Amino acid sequence: MSPRDILRRLFDAAIAAADPALCVPPHLPADDGGRLIVIGAGKASAVMARAVEEHWSGPLDGLVVTRYGHGVPCERIEIVEAAHPVPDAAGEAAAARILGRISGLTASDRVLALISGGGSALLAAPAAGITLAEKRGLTTALLRSGASIGEMNCVRKHLSAIKGGRLAAAAWPASVLTLAISDVPGDDPAVIASGPTVGDPTTAVDALKVLDFHGIAIPAALRARLESGELETPKPGDPRLARAEFRLVASPRQMLEAAAATAHQLGITPLILGDAIEGEAREVGKALAGIALGCGRHGFPAQKPCVLLSGGETTVTLKSDGGRGGRNTEFLLGLALALDGAPDIHALAADTDGIDGSQDNAGAFVDPATLQRARERGLDIRQYLTANDAWGYFSALGDLLVTGPTRTNVNDFRAILVGLE
């Protein structure tokens, strides 16, 4: 088995561990024959909905919204597709319909919320007095700024009619059970899809601090509303959230453990570096290259053959308007540059949802000949880094990983294989 085949096998094992068809059913509530209202949002929400349908015999209806191309057929739960990562009118309409589905419920009603990564952009219900165009503009500015997912969601919660606990508050006094697949470092329920069903510990002032830190200008009227507390979110302990329960059904840690188990089966020592690594993608690539070189040259921190596994969510600060790609391929540019053709080191980095950034690839591969093959084609890796065009670089080399939508999402998967030809 070639190093590239091994890396792909590890990625497939990671994806399988987060398959909603397997991880949702064990967490479903008891089916007492009563009606269940299903709502949800995220890149995995459609497959989560189908898993519910297949394991629920009582009355069932609902609506979930997922990213374009990530839907699957369901019979009783309506599936709507919308834009990600910048929201569109379809997401706004879906969010309004979801709020309508849970309005006027009673204490005897039960709501099941299926939440996964991407849900924040897909639940595009601006707070009163804020337009979708304003939210789109702020989302784009935050994406370009290199803000972390926690920072982005702090802002988005305070400009929303549905995020930051407002969805569960709208369903009160019905019970709300949330089943979530985490795509965020630390698996914080308040950050996953901007925590629509859990109390929000951040404040409107925190949101302003994020915007100011990243130099993102907002209208004076919006600043005044944030400063006044008018746009504050429900907090932990809010009585409207008293009947809301949260269960994590899949996480980055689980997918890394699955990849590690597969590596063991192949006779390769796995070393999980962490499931919550953040930072500028190219700089994280440089740092992990140093660890890989240590393994290759000195057998520390792991003896070869070994594989360094990590997850989390890096960021890319865009310096160019023409760049194509995402954080995983930019990570690989930084990694390849730092490895400088070191022998016996191969790597794969990919987004577990199957889409890395703005193109159709999940990620890409790096091998000891990456830089040399690029030079033979007249490709300067530093120029591609400056242009934020990681997709263009790896596309020219034929090294992209294209999987199509996986319909799950436990964030970045990175595997660096050391010591195999």
CATH of the domain at 270: 3.40.1480.10
What's the pLDDT tens digit per position in 84-140? Answer: 988 999 999 999 999 999 999 999 999 999 999 999 999 999 999 999 998 888 888
DSSP H or E segment with residue 80: strand 77-82
pTM for this model (two decimals)? 0.92
Q: Both 213 and 315 in a single domain?
A: no
| Range scoring the smallest mean pLDDT among 44-48, 234-238, 321-325, 341-345 | 321-325
Range of the domain at 394: 3-11+253-418
The fraction of the chain above a pLDDT of 90, given in percent, is: 88
Residue 33: predicted pLDDT: 79
Q: Both 197 and 97 in a single domain?
A: yes
Q: Are 39 and 62 in contact (CB under 8 A)?
A: yes
260-299 burial: b if 16+ Cβ within 10 Å, else e = bebbeeeebbbbebebbbbbbbbebbbebbebbbebbeee
Q: Both 105 and 139 in a single domain?
A: yes
Asked which of 250, 277, 311 is the last residue of a domain, the reply is 250
In a domain, 206, yes or no: yes
Q: Both 282 and 389 in a single domain?
A: yes
Residue 235: predicted pLDDT: 97
In a domain, 21, yes or no: no
In a domain, 266, yes or no: yes
Query: Would you place residue 346 in the very low, low, confident or very high pLDDT band (cuts 50, 70, 90)?
Result: very high
Q: Specify burial of residue 235 (Cβ count, 10 A radius: 0-12, 13-18, 19+).
A: middle
What's the pLDDT tens digit per position in 23-58? Answer: 999 999 988 878 899 999 999 999 999 999 999 999
Mean predicted lDDT score pLDDT of the chain: 95
Please give the backbone phi and psi of residue 189, each rounded to the nearest 5 degrees, phi first: -55, -30
Q: Are 199 and 235 in contact (CB under 8 A)?
A: yes
In a domain, 26, yes or no: no
Q: Both 123 and 192 in a single domain?
A: yes
Residue 322: predicted pLDDT: 65
In a domain, 233, yes or no: yes
Rounded to whole angstroms, the Cα distance separating 241 from 243 reads: 6
Would you state the structure tokens that stand for residue 195, as one six-digit string?
A: 């925590």
| Range scoring the smallest mean pLDDT among 28-42, 132-146, 223-237, 278-292 | 132-146
Residue 151: predicted pLDDT: 93
Q: Both 178 and 280 in a single domain?
A: no
At 289, the amino acid letter reads: A
Asked which of 194, 228, 250 is the last residue of a domain, the reply is 250
Q: Both 142 and 235 in a single domain?
A: yes
Q: Both 129 and 101 in a single domain?
A: yes
* Domains: count for the chain: 2
Asked which of 250, 284, 304 is the last residue of a domain, the reply is 250
Would you state the structure tokens that stand for residue 169, as one six-digit string?
A: 């508050």
Q: Both 196 and 244 in a single domain?
A: yes
Q: Beta strand pairing status for 306-315 and 269-280? A: parallel
Residue 211: predicted pLDDT: 95
Q: Which residues contact 217 (CB under 8 A, 6 or more apart)?
A: none
Q: Both 342 and 368 in a single domain?
A: yes
What's the pLDDT tens digit per position in 160-197? Answer: 999 999 999 999 999 999 999 999 989 999 999 999 99
From 109, 121, 133, 50, select the one nearest 81 (Cα to Cα).
Answer: 121
Q: Are 273 and 308 in contact (CB under 8 A)?
A: yes
In a domain, 18, yes or no: no
What's the pLDDT tens digit per position in 360-408? Answer: 999 999 999 999 999 999 999 999 999 999 999 999 999 999 999 999 9
Q: Both 277 and 413 in a single domain?
A: yes
The fraction of the chain above a pLDDT of 70, given in percent, is: 99
Query: Would you place residue 319 in the very low, low, confident or very high pLDDT band (cuts 50, 70, 90)?
Result: confident
pLDDT at 226 over 90: yes
Neighbour count for residue 59 (Cβ, 10 Å): 11
Q: Both 233 and 259 in a single domain?
A: no
Residue 361: predicted pLDDT: 96
Q: Specify burial of residue 36 (Cβ count, 10 A radius: 0-12, 13-18, 19+).
A: buried
In a domain, 24, yes or no: no
Would you state the structure tokens that stand for residue 243, as one six-digit string?
A: 């009947």
In a domain, 22, yes or no: no
Query: Helices 204-213 & 220-228, crossing angle to 10 degrees?
Result: 140
